[in-house]
Structure 1
Amino acid sequence: MTELRPFTRTTRYTVSCMPADATPDAHIWDLHVIADRDGYWQITDGARYLDAHAIWHDTRRESGQHTLGEALAIAEATAPHMLVNGLTPDQALARIARLDTEAAG
């Protein structure tokens, strides 16, 4: 019998403009670029999927197929504009800084 040898492959990238240590819920601004079984990549926020025009869809099928380079470019272009509770990462970071300043003062 042939000895099985483990292998490693990359199947997921995380793209975000929110530093992980900025807030306990920083992960909700994350976009995930994940590998499909057919060799293409998808961009998701965990619930929806982005197409090549940065339009959200409910299913992977509706969002189309992307190469890794295309998917990363879409995710990187979209990340600064992610909205969580009506705030982009930049707005949320400014709010965190303001609240920290007020708490210290």
Structure 2
Amino acid sequence: MKPLTDAPSGELDGLAPQSGYSACAIRADRSYPCWGDNSSGQFATRRGKFVAVAAGGTHTCGLRPNGDIDCFGSNYWQTAAHSPATFKAVAAGAHHSCELLLNGVVFMVL
């Protein structure tokens, strides 16, 4: 195993699921540091708090405390789009994003 040289320092609340060449985490203050490949702007700094974050291949999606999803980075595959609804979980893959609605339905953007 090779140690990460550009991983964030400080206390982290959890590591986010990741896909591709980057990763993100959630800090105790609900901010999110990301590291790795940022060639598509997937580490865009968003103001406010997040309860979860998921790093995709060229995009990142974050779940806010009110259930909104905020995605940033490449939208080439429309992976940064999402339904105007309230969510309880988020995941991101190489070319897709999945969001879990409060009623248990999964919304997938391909």
Specify if TM > 0.5. no
Higher strand proportion, which one? 2
Higher helix proportion, which one? 1
TM-score, normalised relative to structure 2 = 0.28
TM-score, normalised relative to structure 1 = 0.28
User: Comparing both chains, which one has the higher relative contact order based on Cα–Cα distances under 8 Å and sequence gaps of 6 or more?
Assistant: 1
